[in-house]
Amino acid sequence: MQPEPDLEALMVRYQQGDSPAASALIHRVSPLLHRFFLVEFVSRRYADDLLQETWLRIHEVRHTYRPGERVMPWLYAIARNVRVDHYRRTRRVTDREQQVEKLPETAAPRGGADRAPDLETLLAALPESQREVIAMLKIAGMSLEEVARATSSSVGSVKQKAHRAYEKLRAKFDER
C-alpha cells in the first residue's frame, strides 16, 4: 500500500473536482474496500455492488472529509455504514418474503483434509464485529486508533475484539 499522505493529497484534489485524482484514489483504494466486503462473506456480486455503492456515497459526502486527517479510517467508516445499510435492507426483505422453494447449496470440496484452511474459512468462525476488526487491522493494515474511528468504538474495545478473535483462531488451530 502506498503511503497515506499520497491518499490524503488525492482526496483533497478529489474534493476540488480533480478527475484524475478521483480516478487514482479509486484505483488505489478499491481493492482494499473490495476485500473488506469479501472478508465479510458477501458473495462476489454483492461485494462489487457494495463497492460501487460505497464510491457513490463517498462522492456524495466527499465535502465532509477534513484535509489533514487520515483518509482510510474515513473511507472504511463509510464502507462499514454501506455494509450495515445493505444488511438491514436485505434483512427487511427476507423477513417479509416467504421462500417458495429452497435449493440445496452444495459446495465443491477445496482440496484435501491435510491442507491448511484459507483466510475466509478461518474468519468464518468469528462473529461479525471480530471479523471486521481483524480485516481492518491485518488485511488493510490500519492502526488501532484508525479501526476505532472507523467502527465508532474505543481503542480498548478494538483491542478486546482483536484479542478474542485471536483466541478463537488459536483454538481452531489447536483443534486441527
Reported as a single tens digit per residue, the pLDDT across 99-117 is 555 555 655 555 555 556 6
CATH 1.10.10.10 for domain 117-176, yes or no, is yes
Residue 2 has pLDDT above 50, yes or no: no
The CATH architecture to which 1-97 belongs is: Orthogonal Bundle (1.10)
- Give ranges for CATH 1.10.1740.10 in the chain: 1-97
pLDDT band at 86 (very low <50, low <70, confident <90, very high): confident
Distance CA 119, CA 148 (A): 23
Write out the three cell numbers for 59: 462522492
Which pLDDT belongs to residue 100?
A: 53
The answer to whether the pTM exceeds 0.75 is no
Task: Write out the residue limits of the CATH 1.10.10.10 domain(s) in the chain.
Answer: 117-176
Inform me whether the pLDDT recorded for 65 exceeds 50: yes
pLDDT at residue 104, rounded to an integer: 53
CA distance from start to end of the chain: 33
The secondary structure of residue 126, as a DSSP letter, is S
Comparing 68 with 43, the larger pLDDT belongs to 68
In whole angstroms, give the CA distance from residue 116 to residue 114: 6
